[in-house]
């Protein structure tokens, strides 16, 4: 069974750093890119970027380029999303998704989401 399991909720202060994780299982991790998606409170889905676990090649949405870093550790089948200095506006639920291909690309399996709250 394909699963993406994300790390737990985080409460952080502005200016702090944070790394959240997404562990894949039930499939060959390096065969699929991993995407990250943001959902701010009461708002829609925003696609942030994706990473190829084989070579760590990344593509970022311009809206998120330079604000977050996506990485992977293929030895433990895990992708990460990292902030060096959080802002209150980073408060959101973050989802990872398996980026699949079937003629077009789409996210076919999703993690359960990680709630990040940034507040002083």
Partner 1 sequence: DIQMTQSPSSLSAFVGDRVTITCRASQSISTYLNWYQQKPGKAPKHLIYAASILQSGVPSRFSGGGSGTDFTLTISSLQPEDFATYYCQQSYSTILTFGGGTKLQIK
Footprint of partner 1 on this chain (CB under 8 A)? 35, 37, 44-47, 49-50, 59-63, 95, 97, 102-108, 110-113
Rounded to whole angstroms, the Cα distance separating 80 from 51 reads 10
The helix/strand/coil state of 21 is strand
Least separation in angstroms between residue 105's CB and partner 1 is 4
Tokens describing residue 49? 């970027």
Nearer to partner 1, 9 or 85 (CB): 9
Nearer to partner 1, 17 or 31 (CB): 31
Nearer to partner 1, 45 or 76 (CB): 45
Of residues 41, 15, 1, the one with CA closest to residue 119: 15
Least separation in angstroms between residue 3's CB and partner 1 is 12
Least separation in angstroms between residue 28's CB and partner 1 is 19
Residue located via tokens 């990040």: 116
CA distances for 87 relative to 14, 17, 18, angstroms: 5, 10, 11
Taking the CA atoms of residue 74, residue 79, residue 83 and residue 88 in that order, the dihedral angle to the nearest 10 degrees is: -170
Least separation in angstroms between residue 75's CB and partner 1 is 26
Nearer to partner 1, 17 or 63 (CB): 63
């Amino acid at each position: 069974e394909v699963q993406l399991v994300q790390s737990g909720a985080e409460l952080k202060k502005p200016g702090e750093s944070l790394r959240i994780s997404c562990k894949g299982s039930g499939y060959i991790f390096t065969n699929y890119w991993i995407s990250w998606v943001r959902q701010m409170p009461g708002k829609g889905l925003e696609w942030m970027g994706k990473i190829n676990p084989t070579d760590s090649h990344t593509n970022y949405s311009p809206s998120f380029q330079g604000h977050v870093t996506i990485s992977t550790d293929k030895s433990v089948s895990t992708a990460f999303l990292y902030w060096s200095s959080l802002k209150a506006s980073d408060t959101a639920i973050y989802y990872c998704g398996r980026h699949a291909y079937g003629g077009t690309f789409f996210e076919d399996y999703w993690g359960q989401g990680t709630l990040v709250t940034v507040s002083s």
